[in-house]
Amino acid sequence: MIYIGCHLSVTAGYKAMGERMSRFGGNTFAWFTRNPRGGKSKPLIPEDVEALCSHVKKEGFGPLVAHGSYTMNLCSAKEETRLNGFEMLQKDLQRMKMIPGNLYNFHPGAHTGQGTEAGIRLISEALNQVMKPDMPTMVLLETMAGKGSEIGGSFEELREIIDRVECKDRIGVCLDTCHVWDGGYDIVHRPDEVLQHFDDVIGLSRLKAVHFNDSKNDLGSHKDRHEKLGQGSLGMEAMKRIALHPVLQGLPFILETPNEDEGYMEEIRIIKEWQEEG
């Protein structure tokens, strides 16, 4: 089985997210550690976070997948942007200590003209300054669509970052199905080959979470526009094969599809139905 859930707003607090996901029928979820665009974050209330921790334990949730801000760019050509990103990363990982044993995913960054090599170096240097061997959080690099100067559009780029990270047992990858497809990996017709390639380049043991999205665009479009499950270019059959793929079992699957509550509940229901059949 897989754990299934969707991206939630943190506005009503942490405990509220857990309860909301239970009402949705899911058993994992994602949230932005701070305003995804503005970069601000409200202070955590210890009682609220503790209530979430006991809820997920009681309900048998899988690992939760926090998402770093979109504005965080550890490899921008602008020093101010890099420093801002660094500060966000540092604070986010500090807060994640209150929810031990979970995952923190972020977009590696965009080199904004400096070149891939420089981007990879800046990202890994930032990670090495912040990550500690005793931290209770796994840091995940997200597979990207390769839009503009984005780093992480290929498994090889992620591997290069991982190679330079010192805390090897705290670093992993979150595979976004829309992004890898947009990045040129044909997970619709060749899921086995793509996952084999992931294993050869990065190692499947580093794969800790999946962002489960359909795509508005074609294979290799490098666009990054998510679509509702089954309504995009991946299609329902391919999504089902991915959800039931043997090497992905046990992972948290997060929906980041363009939906309101109703739509998420329906997608969660469909995925649970596949699992019951399968």
**Position among 176, 214, 224, 227 found at the interface with Fe ion (CB under 5 A):** 176
C-beta nearest to Fe ion: residue:
211
CA 170, CA 136: separation in Å to the nearest integer? 8
Residue 57 CB, nearest approach to Fe ion (Å) = 26
CA 195, CA 188: separation in Å to the nearest integer? 12
Q: Which is nearer to Zn ion, 160 or 224 (CB)?
A: 224
Q: What does the per-residue mask of binding to Fe ion show for 233-262, with x meaning CB under 5 A? A: -----------------------x------
- Residue 211 interacting entry, from Zn ion, Fe ion, none, C-beta within 5 to 8 Å by type: Fe ion
Q: Which stretch binds Zn ion (CB under 5 A): 2-10, 186-194, 218-226, 231-239?
A: 218-226
Q: Does residue 150 interact with Fe ion by CB under 5 A? A: no
- CA distances 14 to 52, 108, 131, 209, Å, are 6, 25, 24, 20
* C-alpha dihedral (114, 68, 157, 175), degrees to nearest 10: -150
- Residue 199 interacting entry, from Fe ion, Zn ion, none, C-beta within 5 to 8 Å by type: none
CA 235, CA 241: separation in Å to the nearest integer? 10
146: left (phi over 0), alpha (psi -120 to 50) or beta: left
- Residue 34 interacting entry, from Zn ion, Fe ion, none, C-beta within 5 to 8 Å by type: none
By CB under 5 A, the residues from 110 to 139 that bind Zn ion are: none
CA 202, CA 213: separation in Å to the nearest integer? 22
Total residues at the site for Zn ion (CB under 5 A)? 1
Give the helix ranges, DSSP H, for the chain.
14-24, 46-58, 79-96, 116-130, 155-164, 177-182, 191-201, 236-243, 261-277
Q: Does residue 224 interact with Zn ion by CB under 5 A? A: yes
With residue 211 as reference, give the H or E element that holds it. strand 207-211
Residue 223 CB, nearest approach to Zn ion (Å) = 9
Residue 113 CB, nearest approach to Fe ion (Å) = 22
**Position among 82, 159, 211, 240 found at the interface with Fe ion (CB under 5 A):** 211
CA 139, CA 36: separation in Å to the nearest integer? 18
Residue 133 CB, nearest approach to Zn ion (Å) = 31
Q: Which stretch binds Fe ion (CB under 5 A): 21-29, 39-47, 116-124, 207-215?
A: 207-215
With beta carbons less than 8 A apart as the criterion, state whether 21 and 2 touch: no
| Site residues, Zn ion (CB under 5 A) | 224
